[in-house]
Copies of this chain bind each other. A is one copy, B any other.
Amino acid sequence: MSDEDEVITEAHGAGSGQMRKLIEELAVSRFENGNAETDVPLEALDDGSVHRLANGGESVVVTTDSHVVTPLFFRGGDIGRLAVAGTVNDLAMMGATEPVALTCSLIVESGTPVKTVERVMDSMRETSVEAGAPITTGDTKVMGSGEIDTLAINTTGVGIVPQGRHVPDAGLSPGDKLIVTGTVGDHGISLLSEREGFDFEGDLESDVAPVNDLVAAAMDAGEITAMKDPTRGGLATSLNEMASKSGVGLEIDERSIPVSGAVASAGEVLGIEPLNVANEGKVVMGVEREDAEAVLEAIRTHPKGKDAAIVGEAVDEHAGRVILDTGFGNRYLTEPEGEQLPRIC
């Protein structure tokens, strides 16, 4: 139970330990409603839940995300692209790379120009076509002026996987290689730069994109044991979650993590670590050691995966911790908290 006067703070929304604690207290403790047909229940706090169908052959994957971002339109994307790509990617992280249906639920502030909503809808359509993910049902609520900040979008995604073939985020075993599918930090650093009014000569933009096709190519090339898209909290948070949930240690070579020059420079100016901020078109995956090169090759030949790299591996030692080899020695890579964790969405 909470203290009488405890309130929700922005730190609760930033995507790391404080937020997981809140979700565990508020939701998981109440809703632990998984049953015999649930392969991935709420308690798993994975990217979605997975439910076996009575037909014996298939499972349904469900994932949901509410999107709020300032500004609505940013370099490289907008809230509509973010909503569709985010949900398509969460389905893909569970192994469901061909979405059956996406929902689009809008909360719009009264007084918002119709043109603004049209631009967002156009972007949702384009991203939906790009991902092969039909938007099939929705809902619209209008709030009084001042109640919300222009526009919030919830997108929920439904997919199908063959039973037992979903990919958890907790499936790493010692020996598995870790692959990152491209440069990290682009979305977070670009958005923060734009908000702070820095231009950096236009070299920065969000990486927001659906990557379900990339994931499908990787899954075809070898055995993927665990996947996560490093959104809120960045790669540092995703690696720590995967290590902790899988009960393995991770040894990561910092120099092998792809970071663009523009992101690295802007990160230094802003005092923000690219590993700690959101990506919206990248994946970190565990791959069985003997399949690692084949999967890497499949990802690199995909246009959205040309910068992919093997960044480390899972080990028996220091279970639940991530060791970063910086080139000058080893240190723990911890989850960002508080000041290290800028609020992006």
Measuring CB to CB, which residues of chain A are less than 8 angstroms from any residue of chain B? 1-10, 12-14, 19, 22-23, 26-27, 30-31, 33-35, 38, 41-42, 48-49, 51, 53-55, 57-58, 60, 62-68, 100-101, 103-115, 117-118, 121-122, 124-125, 128-129, 134-144, 146-149, 152, 154, 156, 158, 160, 345
A158 vs B147: C-alpha distance in the bound complex, in angstroms? 29
Q: Which of B3, B8, B110 sits near A109, CB closer than 8 Å?
A: B8
> A249 → chain B, closest Cβ, in Å?
28
A110 close to B23 (CB less than 8 A): no
> A211 → chain B, closest Cβ, in Å?
19
Q: Using A26-B117, A60-B101 as known contacts, say yes or no to A38 and B134 having CB atoms under 8 A apart.
A: yes
> A160 → chain B, closest Cβ, in Å?
7
Q: Give the residues in chain B near A13, CB-CB below 8 Å.
A: 108, 110, 140-143
B107 close to A42 (CB less than 8 A): no
B9 close to A113 (CB less than 8 A): no
Q: Give the residues in chain B near A23, CB-CB below 8 Å.
A: 138, 140
Q: Using A55-B55, A118-B2 as known contacts, say yes or no to A134 and B34 having CB atoms under 8 A apart.
A: yes
8 extra A-B contacts, CB within 8 A, seeds A8-B117, A34-B136, A53-B100: A8-B113, A10-B110, A26-B118, A26-B121, A31-B134, A33-B134, A62-B101, A68-B143
B125 close to A30 (CB less than 8 A): yes
Q: Give the residues in chain B near A125, CB-CB below 8 Å.
A: 30-31
Nearest residue (CB) in B for A106 is B66
A6 vs B125: C-alpha distance in the bound complex, in angstroms? 21
A64 close to B134 (CB less than 8 A): no
Q: Give the residues in chain B near A34, CB-CB below 8 Å.
A: 134, 136
Q: Give the residues in chain B near A144, CB-CB below 8 Å.
A: 10, 149
B8 close to A111 (CB less than 8 A): yes
Q: Give the residues in chain B near A147, CB-CB below 8 Å.
A: 68, 148-149
Q: Using A51-B101, A107-B152, A152-B152 as known contacts, say yes or no to A62 and B8 having CB atoms under 8 A apart.
A: no
A142 close to B10 (CB less than 8 A): yes
Can you offer 15 A-B residue contacts whose CB atoms are under 8 A?
A2-B114, A8-B109, A8-B111, A8-B117, A12-B140, A13-B142, A22-B140, A27-B121, A27-B140, A49-B137, A62-B156, A103-B156, A105-B156, A141-B152, A141-B345
